[in-house]
């Protein structure tokens, strides 16, 4: 009997030669990448974490060092501070999720000047965080226009830039400013998929924009909301804000992710083992969050049929 | 009494006005926040442009001025001449001029986009539409892999790239073809929801799996592929941390801008010249964004991630 070569029909893998070749060719780049650059990096991370970089002996030395450091409050840029800063950026990121969603709804519901807002709020995504960070740094410098106004208002001519007086606040103002537009497109894309008829029915019933948001839009974009929140939760220890672009970790703005990046950037090969150990400890901390996250996604993240 | 209309009844402006009125005062007031927010971005960039065309000496005397009163457009020419990136590679001073920085930005961004998109689109289509053992496992694996962020990999990744000879070389791009992640989920969802009609018709006409993919399915996915490619290109163009760490001999414009931000004066660059160099660097991505912004906004959406 002649075999049916239709790969789209649900059958038990009765693929012909060309079907298998197609599968292999299409999967090869991603699977090879996963094996070399994902699995390879995991193996290398464990190798580094369990190797003392001075004696090259295997053991738990790096973990012992890392565990002490995580709770240390010694020095200006200690790991305890980095941990607290990371949590601060995480809370900021979580807060931005619903705020961005509401901004997107205002634009979706055609608020005044919505076309302009839609394009301009995505500007940070287009022109790049580094450029806006440079503009912001100059605006906020001690001789910049913003500080001039602050100096005039407070009457303090010798006032230093916020970068030096409160580095975290300096970064957070910038991150909130540019972060609003960050996921705007994903929200707008999700809202654009809502069938117009549902919105029209609501309008005919005479419901206002806020009721429409609560009763029609939010339930339909709920899977996107759950996904965005869950991704924030599981990325908790990677939260780092614009530390690299704005302060380079100085003035009390170090974070865990920045510390790890900086160790490698500085070429401190002797610290690689410690970096890997710190990372693995935080990965273990993340596992309960991942379990909760998966449960959330499977329980509430299911696609709504419409 | 007949309702008075500011614009011709039934015209677009009239409909828009009645829509705004129906939204209510509170919604309209809240709706002004994104408008003001977006305006602040535009003002910020306009201020940057103002500084870039300000006379250097005048700027030194008036650093906090918002409106430039003495203009000098030659800052752009000076930026291209003076913007020379200096770095020490293996103890030797290496100078990279402005045009090489632009060239580096282009090949880095094109390479990152091409490797990522080819790998992602191929993989997402295979997992979404082809039947083979382990495809469900691959999907769940990709979702799980996104959900378990293993921290502290920078050092291991650096070491691995070094061992493979991909560090500080254009071959670095070979390692950037990750077919998983958020883009995978977007393309996967697209192919899953694509009707099978055209593909089945092609198969009845004798088309093989490659023909179905390249000539039937891929053209239908063009809008989403273009949108994601533009987003990836913009992201790569603006990336400064990746070239900074992995490609020190091939600085891009973003890397140079980042490294010069705190020591521009030592390199003989004034703030207006520096700003001019910075604004030239955003022209390619600004053009891409302006051309494709509607397409991007209409094609990107993610839903739930079950796995």
Looking at the partner chain, which of A235, A280, A302 has a beta carbon nearest the beta carbon of B304? Answer: A302
Chain A residues with CB-CB distance to B38 below 8 A? 113, 116-117, 119-121, 123
With a cut of 70, say whether residue A4 has pLDDT above it.
no
Nearest to B303 by CA among A1, A305, A132, A110: A305
Please report which confidence band the pLDDT of residue B307 belongs to, taking 50, 70 and 90 as the band edges. very low
Q: How confident is the model at residue A226 (pLDDT cuts 50, 70, 90)?
A: confident
State how far residue B192 is from chain A, nearest Cα, in angstroms: 11
Q: Which of A101, A105, A127, A139 to mutate to test the interface with B (most CBs of B within 10 A)?
A: A127
Please state which CATH class domain A50-300 belongs to: mainly alpha
Residues of A in contact with B138 (CB under 8 A): 27, 31
Closest chain B CA to residue A292:
B147
Name the residue among A48, A109, A271 with its Cβ closest to that of B23: A109
C-alpha B138/C-alpha A23 separation (Å) is 13
Name all domains of chain B by residue range, CATH numbers in brackets: 12-79 (no CATH), 85-299 (1.10.3720.10)
Residue B150 to residue A120, Cβ atoms within 8 A: no
- What's the gap in Å between the CA of A141 and the closest CA on chain B? 9
- Inform me whether the C-beta atom of residue A293 falls under 8 Å from chain B C-beta atoms: yes
Count CB neighbours of A36 within 10 A: 14
pLDDT of residue A170 exceeding 90, the answer is yes
> Are A192 and B286 an interchain contact pair (Cβ–Cβ within 8 Å)?
no
**Long-range contacts from A259-266, C-beta under 8 angstroms, 24+ separation:** A259/A79, A259/A82, A260/B151, A260/B152, A260/B154, A260/B155, A261/B154, A261/B241, A261/B245, A263/B154, A263/B155, A264/B154, A264/B155, A264/B158, A264/B245, A265/B244, A265/B245
Binary contact (B150, A279; C-beta < 8 A): yes
Contact A209/B at CB under 8 A: yes
- Check if the beta carbon of residue B37 is closer than 8 Å to that of residue A121: yes
Asked if B47 lies within 8 A of A139 by C-beta distance, the reply is yes
Tokens read off for A289: 């969050």
**What number is the average pLDDT over the span B109-114?**
96
Q: Extract the tokens encoding A43.
A: 């193996």
Of B2 and A283, more confident:
A283
* Best A6, A131, A248, A259 residue to mutate vs chain B (most B CBs within 10 Å): A131
Instruction: Specify the pLDDT at position A2.
Output: 47
Would an 8 Å CB–CB cutoff place A202 in contact with chain B? Answer: no
ipTM tops the 0.90 cut: no
Residues 131-160 of chain A with CB under 8 A from chain B are: 131-132, 134-139, 143-145, 147-148
Predicted confidence at residue A303, as pLDDT, reads: 57
| Residue-wise pLDDT tens digits, A102-125 | 999 999 998 999 989 988 888 887
Distance (Å, whole) CA B62 – CA B43: 19
pLDDT averaged over every residue in chain B: 86
Q: Please give the interface size between A and B, counted as residue pairs whose CB atoms are below 8 Å apart.
A: 359
Average pLDDT value for residue range B272-280: 89
**For the range B44-47, what are the long-range contacts, defined as Cβ-Cβ under 8 Å and sequence gap of 24 or more?**
B44/A132, B44/A135, B44/A136, B44/A139, B45/A123, B45/A127, B45/A135, B47/A135, B47/A139, B47/A145
Chain B residue numbers with beta carbons less than 8 Å from the beta carbon of A231 are 146
Inter-chain CB proximity A7 and B38 less than 8 Å: no
Residue A70's closest CA among A274, A244, A216?
A274
Mean pLDDT of B44-58: 92
> Which of A14-23, A97-106, A235-244, B264-273 shows the lowest per-residue confidence on average (mean pLDDT)?
B264-273
Provide the pLDDT confidence category of residue B118 given band limits of 50, 70 and 90. Answer: very high
Eight-class DSSP state of B86: E
Residue by residue, what is the 3-state secondary structure of chain A? CCCCCCCCCCCCCCCCHHHHHHHHHHHHHHHHHHHHHHHHHHHHHHHHHCECCCCCCECCHHHHHHHHHHCCCCCCCCHHHHHHHHHHHHHHHHHHHHHHHHHHHHHHCCCCCHHHHHHHHCHHHHHCHHHHHHHHHHHCCCCCHHHHHHHHHHCCCCCCCHHHHCHHHHHHHHHHHHHCCCCHHHHHHHHHCCCHHHHHHHHHCCCCHHHHHHHHHHHHHHHHHHHHHHHHHHCHHHCCCCHHHHCCCCCCCCCHHHHHHHHHHCCCHHHHHHHHHHHHHHHHHHHHHHHHHHHHHHHHCCCCCC
Q: Has residue B1 got a pLDDT over 60?
A: no
Residue with tokens 């609501």: A202
Tell me the pLDDT tens digit for each residue of A173-204. 999 998 887 778 788 888 888 888 888 898 88
Whether residue B4 has pLDDT greater than 70: no
The dihedral region occupied by B133, where left means phi > 0, alpha psi between -120 and 50, and beta the remainder, is beta
Task: State pLDDT tens for residues A242-291.
Answer: 888 899 888 889 999 998 888 888 888 888 899 999 999 988 988 888 78
Closest by CA to A127, choosing from B284, B304, B224, is B284
Of A118, A135, A186, the CB nearest to B300: A186
Domain ranges of chain A: 50-300
- Averaged pLDDT score across all residues of chain A: 85
pLDDT of B28 over the 50 cut: yes
pLDDT over threshold 60, residue A1: no
Inter-chain residue contact B122 with A280, CB threshold 8 Å: no
């Amino acid at each position: 009997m002649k075999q049916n070569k239709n790969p789209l029909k649900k059958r038990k893998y009765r693929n012909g030669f060309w079907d298998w070749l197609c599968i292999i060719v299409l999967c090869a780049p991603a699977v090879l990448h996963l094996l070399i650059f994902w699995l390879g990096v995991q193996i290398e991370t464990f190798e580094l974490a369990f190797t003392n970089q001075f004696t090259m002996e295997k053991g738990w030395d790096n973990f012992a060092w890392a565990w002490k450091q995580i709770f240390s409050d010694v020095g200006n840029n200690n790991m305890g501070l980095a941990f607290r800063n990371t949590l601060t950026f995480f809370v900021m990121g979580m807060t931005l999720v619903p705020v961005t969603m509401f901004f997107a709804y205002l634009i979706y519901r055609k608020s005044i000047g919505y076309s302009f807002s839609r394009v301009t709020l995505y500007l940070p995504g287009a022109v790049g965080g580094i450029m806006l960070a440079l503009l912001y740094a100059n605006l906020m410098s001690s001789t910049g226009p913003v500080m001039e106004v602050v100096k005039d208002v407070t009457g303090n001519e010798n006032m230093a830039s916020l970068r030096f007086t409160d580095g975290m606040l300096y970064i957070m103002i910038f991150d909130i400013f540019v972060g609003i537009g960050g996921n705007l497109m994903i929200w707008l894309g999700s809202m654009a998929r809502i069938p117009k008829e549902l919105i029209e029915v609501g309008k005919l019933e005479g419901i206002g924009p806020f009721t429409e948001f609560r009763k029609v839009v939010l339930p339909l974009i709920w899977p996107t909301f759950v996904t965005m929140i869950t991704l924030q939760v599981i990325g908790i220890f990677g939260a780092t804000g614009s530390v690299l672009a704005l302060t380079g970790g100085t003035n009390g703005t170090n974070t865990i992710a920045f510390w790890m990046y900086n160790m490698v950037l500085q070429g401190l090969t002797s610290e690689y083992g410690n970096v890997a150990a710190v990372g693995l400890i935080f990965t273990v901390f993340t596992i309960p969050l991942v379990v909760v996250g998966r449960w959330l996604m499977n329980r509430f993240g299911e696609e709504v049929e419409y | 009494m007949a309702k008075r209309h500011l614009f011709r009844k039934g015209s677009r402006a009239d409909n828009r006005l009645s829509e705004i009125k129906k939204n209510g005062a509170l919604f309209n007031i809240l709706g002004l926040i994104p408008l003001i927010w977006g305006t602040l971005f535009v003002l910020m960039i306009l201020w940057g442009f103002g500084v870039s065309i300000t006379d250097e000496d005048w700027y030194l005397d008036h650093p906090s001025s918002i409106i430039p009163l003495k203009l000098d457009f030659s800052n752009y020419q000076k930026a291209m001449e003076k913007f020379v990136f200096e770095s020490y590679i293996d103890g030797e001073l290496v100078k990279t001029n402005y045009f090489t920085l632009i060239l580096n930005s282009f090949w880095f961004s094109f390479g990152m986009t091409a490797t990522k998109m080819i790998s992602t689109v191929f993989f997402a289509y295979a997992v979404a539409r082809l039947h083979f053992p382990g495809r469900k496992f691959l999907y769940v694996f990709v979702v799980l892999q996104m959900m378990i962020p293993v921290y502290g990999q920078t050092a291991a990744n650096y070491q691995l790239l070094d061992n493979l000879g991909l560090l500080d070389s254009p071959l670095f791009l070979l390692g950037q073809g990750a077919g998983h992640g958020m883009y995978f989920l977007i393309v996967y969802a697209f192919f899953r929801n694509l009707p099978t009609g055209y593909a089945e018709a092609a198969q009845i006409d004798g088309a093989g799996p490659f023909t179905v993919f390249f000539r039937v399915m891929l053209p239908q996915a063009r809008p989403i592929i273009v949108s994601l490619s533009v987003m990836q290109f913009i992201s790569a163009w603006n990336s400064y941390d990746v070239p900074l760490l992995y490609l020190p001999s091939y600085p891009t414009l973003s890397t140079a801008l980042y490294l010069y931000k705190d020591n521009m004066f030592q390199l003989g660059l004034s703030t207006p010249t520096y700003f001019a160099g910075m604004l030239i660097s955003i022209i390619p991505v600004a053009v891409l964004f302006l051309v494709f912004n509607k397409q991007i906004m209409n094609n990107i959406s993610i839903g739930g991630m079950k796995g």
